[in-house]
Amino acid sequence: MRRYDWWEILNDFLFYWIKLGFVSGKAYLCEEPKKNIMVTLIDGFDHLLIKLDKGAKEDLQDLINGDPVVTVTDILDASGYLGNGWSDLSDQIGMTGAPIIGFGVVLNDDGKAIDYERGFWFPKHEGEFWLETLLKKGEVIFLEI
């Protein structure tokens, strides 16, 4: 079992405090919410709430209509999160076929994930398409792995 000293605990606390960027009572998993994006990722501490931004419903519908196979990567990229600490781990971890979003992902030279700080998955993937839920309800919840 790994032991932590007080400096490591303080360092981890400060890292997450800065990285989470507490804004108006909600924790956003980036330095600050970006403007003109399709979705906003909000940390619920045991889940990830993905909220469709106002006015983005048509953009999301256009994206889905233009490409019959819209992936987590497409949404993260369109929203400015991809490469900003976020990655699509759907094909790299897990065996369920569920969409998986990773934060703090470490990649090897081949672009495969070898480690991640946090991971979130959509547990209702067998009976529900997460993008349809996002379009209908304006938000969707991914649970922490």
CB 118 within 8 A of CB 101: no
Lowest-pLDDT range of 24-28, 44-48, 128-132: 24-28
Check pLDDT > 70 for residue 65.
yes
Q: Which residues contact 108 (CB under 8 A, 6 or more apart)?
A: 114
Closest among 8, 4, 5, 6 to 16, alpha carbons compared: 8
| Alpha carbon distance 109, 67 (integer Å) | 29
SS3 assignment, position 35: coil
Check pLDDT > 80 for residue 81.
yes
User: What domain range includes position 49?
Assistant: 6-144
Closest among 14, 11, 42 to 29, alpha carbons compared: 42
The residue ranking higher by pLDDT, 90 or 1, is 90
Please indicate, yes or no, if residue 76 is contained in any of the structural domains: yes
Hey, what are 42's tokens?
């909000």
Residue with tokens 């699509």: 88
The predicted model scores a pTM of 0.69
Q: What is the mean pLDDT of the chain?
A: 76
Check pLDDT > 70 for residue 28.
no
Please indicate, yes or no, if residue 104 is contained in any of the structural domains: yes
The residue ranking higher by pLDDT, 134 or 29, is 134
Check pLDDT > 90 for residue 139.
yes
Alpha helices (runs of H) in the chain, residue ranges in sequence order: 6-20, 57-66, 72-78, 130-137
Please indicate, yes or no, if residue 74 is contained in any of the structural domains: yes
Please indicate, yes or no, if residue 1 is contained in any of the structural domains: no
Confidence of residue 69 (pLDDT cuts 50, 70, 90): confident
Tell me the sheet residues that pair with 113. Answer: 107
Return the amino acid letter for 84. N
Confidence of residue 13 (pLDDT cuts 50, 70, 90): low
Check pLDDT > 70 for residue 25.
no
Check pLDDT > 50 for residue 33.
no
* Structural domain total, the chain: 1
